[in-house]
Amino acid sequence: MIANEQLRSTDILSREKILSDYRLAFESRQVSLLGRRDVMGGRAKFGIFGDGKELAQLAAARAFDRGDFRSGYYRDQTFVAALGELRWSEFFAQLYAHTDLEAEPNTAGRSMNGHFATRWLDDRGLWRNQTELYNSVCDIAPTAGQIPRALGLAYASKLFRNNPALSELTNFSHNGNEIVFATIGDASTSQGMFWEAMNAAGVLQVPLLMSVWDDGYGISVPIEYQTVKGSISKALAGFQRDSDEKGLEIFTVKGWDYVALLETYQQAARICRTEQVPVLVHVQELTQPQGHSSSGSHERYKSKQRLAWEAEHDCNLIFKQWILENGYATSDELEAIENEAKQTAKKARLVAWDSFQASMKSDFDEALDLLQQTARHNTKSTELMAIREELRKTVSPVRRDAVSAVRKALRLLRTDTGVGRQRLRFWLDRTNTENTDRFSSHLYSQSPESPMLVDAVPAQFADDSPVVDGYLLLQRYFDSLFSRDPRVVALGEDVGQIGDVNQGFAGLQEKFGEIRITDTGIRETTIIGQGIGMAMRGLRPIVEIQYFDYVYYTLATLTDDLATLLYRTKGGQKAPLIIRTRGHRLEGIWHSGSPMGTMLSSLRGIHILVPRNMTQAAGFYNTLIKGDDPAMVIESLNGYRLKETLPTNLAEFCVPLGVPELLRIGSDVTIVTYGSMCRIVMDAASQLAPMGVNVEVIDVQTLLPFDVKQIIVESIKKTNRVLFADEDVPGGASAYMMQQVIENQNAYRYLDSAPRTLAAKPHRPPYGSDGDYFSKPNVDDVIETVYSIMSESDPERFPAI
């Protein structure tokens, strides 16, 4: 461990700043205490607070500059408040789940308390100037989930510093001078995400300042069960840089030592910022006065000796003693500050609670009035008044109470044709529209840059257009893309020197440099994290997961962070990351390549694109680069060596999202499929034609979004029969497509035969050609399934095979 440098500026320890810090630390403690009381009293559902960590967070905030980023821990309330980015009324508004952005600008009540987010986007969803902001990336609750993106945020600084072509992006960086303050609880460092990110940070040498808040426990589990040697700084000692080898700089400091904390963070930030070196600050001997959360008491698992130690080492108490001993204030002065801080916290709580209740009062009162008016001259008056009285007596009502009461009344009045029922229906329709905005908006971009607004531009071909392998078409495409857009960066395993395992980037690293097309270690989670962080800072990364099955390594980061980012900030933050991978028809248990149902269930908020060939893939990439949503593009692994005609407008043509393509016109059966299955289905359709079956084939092209123009139901109106075919397990993507068409498009009305699905076996395929044939749908399966549909309706014309 290196020794902490002494402070070089006496100004940092001025009386004014010391007492300001004490005031904020005391206020923060008070809001924690009041917040827990609100949970216990039923005003809030759950609470998790930053008590015991106030001094360390104040010190970290002192080293934070405009343009820097915090990728943090949900206990960072003092940190964010010290930056001037959190009013205590906003803290309580989030605790109460207030859905008004004016009251709760972090997440509009969508995240539980302690989840802070700088609003990077304006009202139209377009970027603001990040260099003018104290940037907090919206926190997430899953332990260590904030760490992968922290690596990417810091990596972006490295790119901004080392790539002159990015110098014009002044809204996102000032020459890469920004550093990233990541924060994490000590127990969460046991997660693989943390270790993977710290290793990658040391390899990449990026300005990441990692703070570990160490209070000795992970909920009830003490440190000796969490970390080798009982210390994350000791465990990471092998990562310490020296004069011969790059690595991390490591500091340790006590969480109750005000001066040492200030010294440590000033020095750590200086090294991180000027030398572009990752730094670990292990903040030890912190306490947790109220325990882990509002869910239980720490007296259950901490000994009396430990509780006594925590009382003695409370950072705020020791800070107070230090102030008195060094003559910065008298007891009376500190008591006055404390009393004012208590009043500040109480006032913020009252303001937040009154505002929260007032936001719902008009709807609540109107529902009561409508129920009473409807009951006056109604035969169901007694029942309606009972519903009204139950609503009126609700303690601390929320929106659901009024809505539920009105819905109950409407069920009661289902045969009523009077004006009272109409008014209740109008009230419910209006509030449902408003509540859709409050609770369900911004799953995808609502900005002018939404990829859903990108117009289709057809691929064009000349008479002499060359016919090339699919991988060469992609190679030409990426060459064009990187030439015209300096924001685009590609990284992944084997992407750089060899140009990816299927040669889509072959030769491009040599042309555009390692700074733009970069190899990574085998670390899928932080590959995604790098991409998320870069996309948050105005770059347009394309990150590669080498094979589709490897997405499982990244799933927590994709579903918890990327997929929810726009939604959980209600349009305040975005990360338009493009994830490139390849799948379908792979052979072997761990390379089967088709876990599509998992993606559909987990990644709402990310577009899922399944191009059947590389021309379609290139068109999708053009569309996504023009847009601002994250997306996953799953290329067909067995298509790279197939021949395709090279479009003449490779850089301009765009394939729209959510629009299926009709591949074959038919009249008897509609087959709905995607990806590599398109070739299998087209082959089967050709073989069915001589058997008297005329098949219509539709490639859905994108699964999220799915057929936004309802093209498929129009085909079913003609054929009256449908088969959904894919290579996922039964009940996966094929069932999803059926639900979308039969239920959402009401296609059941036009069916003369039961809708069918054709999927893979419920197990992963064993290795080899036979494993693939007997595990996944093949041409024979498609032919016989379609034929059986026809045989069922006309057995004389189509006798059973």
Cβ count within 10 A of residue 382: 9
Strand partners, 669: 695
258 sits in which H/E element: helix 258-275
- The distance in angstroms from the start CA to the end CA of the chain is 77
| Pairwise CA distance, residues 536 & 432, whole Å | 32
56 sits in which H/E element: helix 54-62
Provide the CB-side half-sphere exposure for 506 (13 A, CA): 12
| Pairwise CA distance, residues 680 & 727, whole Å | 11
The token pair that represents 72 in the structure block:
């943090």
Residue 671 three-state SS: strand
Residue whose token pair is 């990806």: 675
Give residue 158's identity as a one-letter amino acid code. K
Contacts for 80-88: CB closer than 8 Å, 24+ residues apart: 80/116, 80/136, 81/24, 81/27, 81/28, 82/21, 82/24, 82/57, 82/58, 83/134, 83/136, 84/134, 85/116, 85/118, 85/134, 85/136, 86/116, 87/348, 88/27, 88/31, 88/344, 88/345, 88/348, 88/349
Give residue 720's identity as a one-letter amino acid code. N
Pairing mode, if any, of strands 221-222 and 217-218? antiparallel
- Whether 442 is catalytic is no
Which DSSP state fits 35?
A: H
The token pair that represents 96 in the structure block:
């109460």
CA-to-CA separations, 760 to 548, 686, 729, 776, in angstroms, rounded:
16, 22, 5, 4
Which DSSP state fits 507?
A: T
Give residue 755's identity as a one-letter amino acid code. P
Question: What's the gap between Cα 108 and its chain centre?
Answer: 16
Which DSSP state fits 636?
A: E
| Pairwise CA distance, residues 540 & 488, whole Å | 5
Give residue 70's identity as a one-letter amino acid code. R
- The contacts of residue 142 (CB under 8 Å, 6+ apart) are 556, 560
- CA dihedral over 713, 719, 722, 723, signed as positive or negative: negative
Which DSSP state fits 76?
A: -
- Of 115, 442, 584, 591, which is the active-site residue? 591
CA-to-CA separations, 666 to 118, 717, 788, in angstroms, rounded:
53, 12, 17
| Pairwise CA distance, residues 404 & 428, whole Å | 10
Q: 538, 81 in Cβ contact below 8 A?
A: no
* Residues recognised as catalytic: 591
